[in-house]
Chain A
Amino acid sequence: MTPEADGRNVIEFVHAGYRLPNGTRLLDDVHLEVRQGEVLILLGRSGAGKTTTLKLINRMLEPSEGEVRVEGRSTVEWDAIALRRRIGYVIQETGLFPHFTIEKNIAVVPRLEGWEEQRVKARVGELLELVGLPAGEFRGRYPHELSGGQRQRVGLARALAADPPILLMDEPFGELDPVTRADVRDEFLSLEKRIRKTVVMVTHDVPGAIMLGTRIAVFDGGRVKGVYSPREFLRSEEPEIAAYRKEIRAPADLET
């Protein structure tokens, strides 16, 4: 099990909604709390509003209704740049800079924060080891020279670089084959036990959700249908939840 949360709310959604400029409603009346040190999983079909929820946290989007609070302050009151530097962001496509070496990629935020060069170098080495890539071998390479799994590890290392208290992950293991995904997932679990970040993670991977999540929020049609502990999730009689569970028993991972 993941480490227990200590109860303080780091992120709060207060009746938050989001509409596109053309009026299409992507998120409706979302009420959610994310506690210090927990891993909150956002589960749901494509288009259910999970990624939108994630982007409201680091103010990539601003709520059309209600409020999203980070560390007690509404995101629109935060300086967007300062807010984002406190929040690591990991996406499926990784978004690594193709013209930067792995070292430079990981060093982006520390350099923006004006760290001394020596400290940056040491931190990059530390992070590469943390995500299981030998620093000596990988520092000087470019993203296109890495496999998908290695790139996603670098993406995670980059998000952790300036030691942000919050980590947002959008299908961080999505592009991996099932075997590699299980490996990276295991590593992330043991990593999270050590670093104890507050994590909000979007995933389609139900076994992963149960394994990593402190709680699981199920989304449907832009609304939160319910928030469950992994135990509740496994026992729930609701047909929707039961449908998700079927995937666990499926003989093979049919997804992607």
Chain B
Amino acid sequence: MGLLDFFSRHANEIGEATLEHIWLTTAAMALAVAVGVPLGILSARRPGFAKGILGGANIAETIPSLALFGFLLPVPWLGERSDRLAIAALALYALLPIIRNTATGILSIDPAVRESAKAMGMTPRQILFQVELPLSLSTLLAGVRIATVLTIGIATIAAAVGAGGLGEFIFRGLAMVNNQLILAGAIPAALLAIAADLFLGILERRLRPAGR
């Protein structure tokens, strides 16, 4: 049986798994951005915190993904549902590039721009929202893009804890020594990653500040 044949016969299943995969990735990214951007801003403000925050995120990044899913299993509330668990673990991985790029983006703003914003009597909040964030948006988005591509790949492992997604085909294929099953998970996952990369790349260029 050819690969295309296999794909068309299991189109429904693959489609469902793809949607699950997108849900896991999107939820994890939303969580990672919600946590990572404020942490990145804090890192840029306080060099003292930056070491701790980036160090912590770095450690999370080095834990083998399968082990991380395992570690989180006994955590109350999180361990109760597999998708919750998977989203938390994925968000943890996505954190580092987001924190780092947010901080880098803010720190690379011309100091004269920040100085004159302050000297004009802008409040720290106004400086953040009118100057720092708009000017670091494209760097920040580059971080989100890296993290998204990474997360789509790692999300295949979520199937190991029963969270679904395209990883299910891969794990099943490995168990049954069936290459077509493995590819039924791997190819859509790769295509998703490419699509996300392209889309976010376009967004990143669009949002690049006009004056650069």
Interface residues of A (CB under 8 A from B): 58, 60, 80-85, 87, 89, 91, 93-100, 108-109, 112, 142-144, 155, 158
Task: Give A85 to B122 CA distance when docked, in angstroms.
Answer: 9
**Residue picked from B112, B116, B119, B131, most chain A C-beta under 10 Å:** B119
How many A-B pairs fall under 8 Å by CB? 71
Task: Give A98 to B109 CA distance when docked, in angstroms.
Answer: 10
Residues A97 and B131 in contact, CB atoms below 8 Å apart? yes
List A contacts of B126 (CB < 8 A). 112
List B contacts of A94 (CB < 8 A). 112, 116
**Residue picked from A84, A95, A158, most chain B C-beta under 10 Å:** A95
Out of A58, A93, A97, A99, which one reaches B119, CB within 8 Å? Answer: A58
Task: Give A80 to B122 CA distance when docked, in angstroms.
Answer: 10
Residues A95 and B121 in contact, CB atoms below 8 Å apart? no
List B contacts of A81 (CB < 8 A). 121-123
Out of B118, B122, B209, which one reaches A98, CB within 8 Å? Answer: B209
Out of B110, B118, B122, B212, which one reaches A112, CB within 8 Å? Answer: B122
Give 28 pairs: A residue, B residue, CB < 8 Å, sorted on A. A60-B115, A80-B121, A81-B122, A81-B123, A84-B121, A87-B119, A89-B116, A89-B119, A93-B110, A94-B112, A95-B112, A95-B115, A95-B116, A97-B131, A98-B209, A98-B211, A98-B212, A99-B134, A99-B135, A99-B209, A99-B210, A99-B211, A100-B211, A108-B122, A112-B121, A142-B211, A143-B211, A144-B212
Task: Give A75 to B166 CA distance when docked, in angstroms.
Answer: 63
List A contacts of B116 (CB < 8 A). 89, 91, 94-96, 155
Q: How many residues on chain B are close to A (CB under 8 Å)?
A: 21
List B contacts of A143 (CB < 8 A). 211
For residue B31, CB closer than 8 A to chain A, the reply is no
Residues B112 and A84 in contact, CB atoms below 8 Å apart? no
Task: Give A97 to B115 CA distance when docked, in angstroms.
Answer: 11
Task: Give A100 to B135 CA distance when docked, in angstroms.
Answer: 10
Task: Give A84 to B115 CA distance when docked, in angstroms.
Answer: 12
* Complex A-B, nearest 4 residue pairs according to Cβ-Cβ distance, in ascending order: A95-B116, A98-B211, A84-B121, A93-B112
B-side interface mostly: helix
Interface residues of B (CB under 8 A from A): 110, 112-123, 126, 131, 134-135, 209-212
**Residue picked from B113, B114, B117, B212, most chain A C-beta under 10 Å:** B113
Task: Give A100 to B122 CA distance when docked, in angstroms.
Answer: 15
Residues B110 and A95 in contact, CB atoms below 8 Å apart? yes
Q: A81-B121, A112-B126 are in contact. Are A91 and B211 (CB under 8 A)?
A: no
Out of A82, A100, A112, A142, which one reaches B120, CB within 8 Å? Answer: A112
CB distance from B5 to the nearest CB of A (A): 53
A98 nearest in chain B by CB position: B211
List B contacts of A155 (CB < 8 A). 116
CB distance from B153 to the nearest CB of A (A): 33
List A contacts of B120 (CB < 8 A). 84-85, 89, 108-109, 112, 158
A159 nearest in chain B by CB position: B120
Task: Give A93 to B134 CA distance when docked, in angstroms.
Answer: 20
* Given A95-B114, A142-B210, 14 extra CB contacts under 8 A: A85-B121, A87-B119, A89-B120, A95-B110, A95-B119, A96-B116, A98-B113, A98-B211, A99-B135, A108-B120, A109-B121, A112-B126, A142-B211, A143-B211
List A contacts of B117 (CB < 8 A). 95, 97
